[in-house]
């Protein structure tokens, strides 16, 4: 790899010659690790032009650095960082850094890292049995057609779209497909002014909190819930009420009358996968209209309703405009895509667009146009069909293995999804269980992160099957049961 001449700058010190200054900046770059052994140095001509010095000055500096074994000369190929170049002792770096240390704990106004995360190791693919949520099986993805769509998006026809800063506007092709194809499947009709592209669902949740909540307002959310939402709402400094869900999701009658915003996942409650019945959805909308609060509907994973047809979105029943609807492509296409959308009345979308523009202008145009082609050319529907077929087979294996080994789902599920919400015996702490299972190359998600507080949360856990091969499911479930019995000190009561 060639080192660009722009890496180097003269210090301007008058006490040393230009040749000595060049020797110093090059040796410092090598000692600091910015220039690595074997990398090609800038040519003497290019470096001289960049620094504004005579070429002979650079040549003499390089010659001295060769003599000091910082550089090596390879004839016509030029100068390279020597394999034997000196390295600065780690101790010296540590001493220099500690002498100028800043107390960042006092400087930072909010400690966001205190939030309890869902801990997943970065190397989760190295584990044999990754029962973790939100990760996809790369073998199910249509790489060839996605690549073709990405190339099409940078073609001559579309390049003007990519080369233009659209400020706060979204890709019209992507908007049109969402409006004409995605939303009607959820029973939703909307106008272009009522939709905004986001950087995924979490970005959408953050924008709703920024626009709808203050210290004087009250937000209501489900318990248990998606941990990221709880952290976003706490950061907004609003008053936060939690309502315990039952097997039908959020009970509308338990929502306090002074609520300003209610967050819910009616299609697939996170993490239990409970689906809110139609009667309860109507009751929730009636409460919103009567008590004048806004509902934020996170409609995640509706595409994975492969056991039954998905229920219409809550937004489809909304006649008063009280529902802010959120969707995402991160689960249905691939997690790293980070593209989603908000559908809401125009006054809200107008402010959300301005907020987004203030923070990140708009999601990358190339990603938007590539996704638009992937959707419009039929690849998205084929992908959903392929994923649903695979998930249905994996789910059947999971259900059979769970019954066989005495592991108990916390609630019945009827629509599908990509995970099971599980209940361990009361004496089992699933956080400790999860750590022990890692020693057996098994990953599960403890339930504690999903709950606000309370010891009852320690016996819940989530098992997902989106990222584990079918052939490994039974063996992985058997390991979970065996280690759980070790924690319990007795056989599981429901083992077949």
DSSP string, 44-94: HHHHHHHHTS-HHHHHHHHHHHHHTTSEEE-GGG-EEE-TT-----HHHHH
- CATH code of domain 142-377: 3.40.640.10
CATH code 3.90.1150.10 region(s) in the chain: 121-139+382-488
- What is the predicted pLDDT for the residue at 103? 87
Closest CA to 461 of 433, 495, 490: 433
Q: What is the CATH number of domain 121-139+382-488?
A: 3.90.1150.10
User: What are the backbone dihedrals phi and psi of residue 163, each rounded to the nearest 5 degrees, phi first?
Assistant: -80, -5
pLDDT at 159 over 80: no
Could you give the residue range(s) of every CATH 3.40.640.10 domain in the chain?
142-377
C-alpha 121: how far from chain center: 14
Predicted local distance difference test score (pLDDT) of residue 94: 47
Residue 313 has pLDDT above 70, yes or no: yes
User: Could you say which of 3.90.480.20, 1.10.10.10, 1.10.357.10, 3.50.50.60 is the CATH number of the domain covering 5-81?
Assistant: 1.10.10.10
Question: 425-452 pLDDT, tens per residue?
Answer: 988 999 999 999 999 999 999 999 899 8
CATH 1.10.10.10 in the chain, residue ranges: 5-81
Q: What size, in residues, is the chain?
A: 496
Contact of 3 with 42, CB cutoff 8 Å? yes
In angstroms, the CA 479 to CA 332 distance is 29
pLDDT digits (tens, 9 = 90+) for 221-246: 999 999 999 999 999 999 999 999 99
Mean pLDDT for the chain overall? 89
């Amino acid at each position: 790899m060639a080192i660009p001449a722009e890496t180097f700058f003269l210090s301007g010190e008058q006490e040393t010659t230009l040749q000595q200054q060049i020797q110093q900046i090059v040796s410092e770059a090598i000692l600091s690790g910015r220039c690595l052994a074997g990398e090609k140095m800038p040519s003497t001509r290019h470096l001289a032009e960049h620094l504004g010095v005579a070429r002979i000055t650079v040549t003499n500096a390089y010659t001295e650095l060769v003599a000091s074994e910082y550089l090596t000369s390879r004839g016509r190929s030029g100068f390279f960082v020597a394999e034997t170049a000196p390295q600065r002792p780690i101790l010296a770096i540590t001493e220099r850094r500690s002498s100028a240390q800043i107390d960042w704990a006092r400087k930072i106004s909010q400690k966001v890292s205190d939030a309890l995360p869902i801990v997943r190791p970065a190397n989760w693919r190295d584990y044999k049995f990754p029962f973790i949520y939100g990760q996809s099986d790369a073998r199910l993805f249509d790489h060839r057609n996605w690549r073709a769509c990405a190339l099409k998006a940078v073609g001559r026809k579309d390049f003007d779209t990519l080369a233009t800063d659209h400020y706060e506007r979204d890709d019209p092709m992507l908007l049109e497909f969402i409006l004409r194809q995605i939303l009607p499947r959820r029973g939703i009709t909307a106008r272009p002014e009522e939709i905004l592209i986001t950087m995924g669902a979490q970005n959408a949740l953050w924008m709703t909190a920024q626009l709808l909540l203050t210290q004087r307002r009250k937000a209501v959310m489900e318990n248990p819930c998606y941990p990221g939402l709880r952290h976003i709402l706490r950061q907004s400094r609003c008053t936060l009420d939690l309502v315990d869900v039952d097997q039908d999701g959020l009970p509308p009658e338990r929502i306090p009358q002074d609520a300003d915003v209610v967050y819910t996942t009616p299609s697939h409650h996170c993490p239990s996968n409970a689906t809110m019945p139609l009667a309860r959805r109507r009751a929730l909308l009636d409460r919103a209209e009567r008590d004048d609060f806004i509902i934020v509907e996170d409609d995640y994973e509706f595409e994975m309703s492969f056991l039954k047809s998905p229920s219409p979105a809550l937004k489809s029943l909304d006649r008063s405009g009280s529902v802010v609807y959120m969707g995402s492509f991160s689960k249905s296409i691939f997690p790293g895509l980070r593209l989603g959308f908000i559908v809401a009345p125009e006054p809200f979308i107008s402010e959300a667009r301005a907020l987004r523009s203030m923070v990140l202008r708009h999601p990358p145009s190339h990603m938007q146009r590539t996704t638009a082609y992937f959707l419009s050319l039929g690849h998205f529907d084929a992908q959903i069909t392929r994923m649903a077929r695979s998930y249905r087979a994996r789910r059947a294996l999971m259900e059979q293995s769970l019954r066989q080994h005495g592991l108990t789902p916390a609630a019945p599920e009827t629509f599908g999804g990509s995970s099971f919400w599980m209940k361990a015996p009361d004496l089992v702490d699933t956080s400790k269980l999860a750590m022990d299972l890692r020693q057996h190359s098994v990953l599960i998600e403890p339930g504690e992160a999903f709950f606000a507080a309370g010891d009852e949360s320690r016996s819940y856990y989530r098992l997902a099957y989106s990222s584990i091969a079918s052939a490994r499911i039974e063996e992985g479930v058997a390991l979970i049961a065996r280690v759980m019995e070790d924690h319990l000190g007795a056989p599981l009561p429901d083992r077949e």
